[in-house]
Structure 1
Amino acid sequence: MSTSTEASAPAIGAIAGLPQIDDPRGVAPADARVLGRLFFEQLRVLEEGTQAYQYARNTLIEMNLSLVHFAAKRFRNRGSGEMEDIVQVGTIGLIKAIDRFELSREVEFTSFAAPYIVGEIKRFFRDSTWAVHVPRRLQELRVTLAGAREELAGRLDREASVAELAQHLRISEEEVIEGIIASNGYTAGSLDLPIGSERNSAETVTYGDIKGHDDPALELVENLQALAPLIETLDDRERGILRMRFGQEMTQAQIGERLSLSQMHVSRLLNRILAKLRKGMLAQS
């Protein structure tokens, strides 16, 4: 674990209550896990925008860049995109994971970050791979339209019309139609078709592996993140019951025995707690 204690070294780490790490990228994975907990603990109490906060956040990013490179290797020579581009978009996923991670989740950061990193890389391939030459303006329009469609679908609870997309993006309906037609130039073919030169390799990757899609694990992460502040509003006994039922997988009878309550009483308490959390989740949607 490489840290600096020299007087001439920058003092930001000390100000943040953290060790000064001169070369975060050189920190071994085992050390990064230990140091990561310290940095995440401080990141949540430091004031955003301060030098100390930036030091903690940037150090976490650099210490975990090996996760991005590990994920990026899987996608090398897979059609569109140089390795540098793949690493850049993977780093965006890493940053999102760092900003959303909570130590209270009791899960390793590497497991938490992986869906974010891989998800960003897959979206990069989805948005940048074209089967025929299409002007850059239309490539960018396609990506913009995809984002607008997703946003409006969430608002309207249905697919947006051409007119609604045009109004939302402040462009003409003709441009919207042109962008939709241009999307036909995007990669097509069998999703089982091997990609690259490693067709006979045991690690063969197909188009289906890199095509962007909604990752169930990422959706679970988002749901858990939304649920966390709601759980904080529960009292100690309610949180304890949730922990025993879903964390320790105890039966209602076992919980009742632990708390000197009847199984029926535990069942009523669980129903009330879950109803409260469900109501809070619906209010956020």
Structure 2
Amino acid sequence: MPNRANAHRRAHDDAPDTADAFRRLVALPPGPRRDALRSRVVEAWLPMADRLAGRFRNRGESLDDLRQVAALGLVKAVDRYDPRLGNAFESYAVPTVTGEIKRHFRDHMWALHVPRRVQELRNRVRSAGQELAGSVSGRRPTVGEIAERAQLSEDDVRTGLEALESFTALSLDAELPGSEDGYSPGDALGEADPALDTVVDREAVRLRIAALPERERTILYMRFFGDMTQSRIAEQLGISQMHVSRLISRCCTRLRDQVMQDTA
């Protein structure tokens, strides 16, 4: 049987005495009276939630947002706490609120979604690196040293180190270090080459053109690759321009129909 005195013991002198309120909260049925008492209990413990949020300041998130997350964790703690188990509320609420804040960082502060295992590796590698920083002067801890301290494999340490550099995304417009002309990652990205469509079309008709009679292949080559006019082609081959026009039109129609049939 838990010692009843433990239920009233508080870790901080300024912690509110809400033991009686919690006992009444458990006994009350859902309704306005219970909601009002619940609100008063949450309000009484908000300073503790704010104090816990302050421990995570300067980590890339505003203190106001952290306080809101901590308040959410506090509400969850109030709703789940059962004074009949004999434990002080603060001993239950502190890990609940802290866990909510850490979950917020894990789920919302990464620019890209990263698997939870990689996030945990990042945290363990970072902690081990900070612990080793004071013992290895003048250099950074090696992968092996971090692996030994964090009790991880060297492959896991390398994964965690990569995640350390990947918490935020680099803008494509950000100037790269050492560049004197404002060169950015966006400058290295390729773009669609309009000539690719021409390559695709040529490959599609290449075999079909090879199957044409020699005179028709010659006419097409002179017109589309030699950039000759129909009158010059007619003069060189000794036929009429009208005949050249009919041959070109007939060949193009045949090639188009054959290619479209191949892709259907």
Q: TM-score band (shorter)?
A: 0.3 to 0.5
Which is higher, the Rg of structure 1 or of structure 2?
Answer: 2
TM-score, normalization by structure 1: 0.36
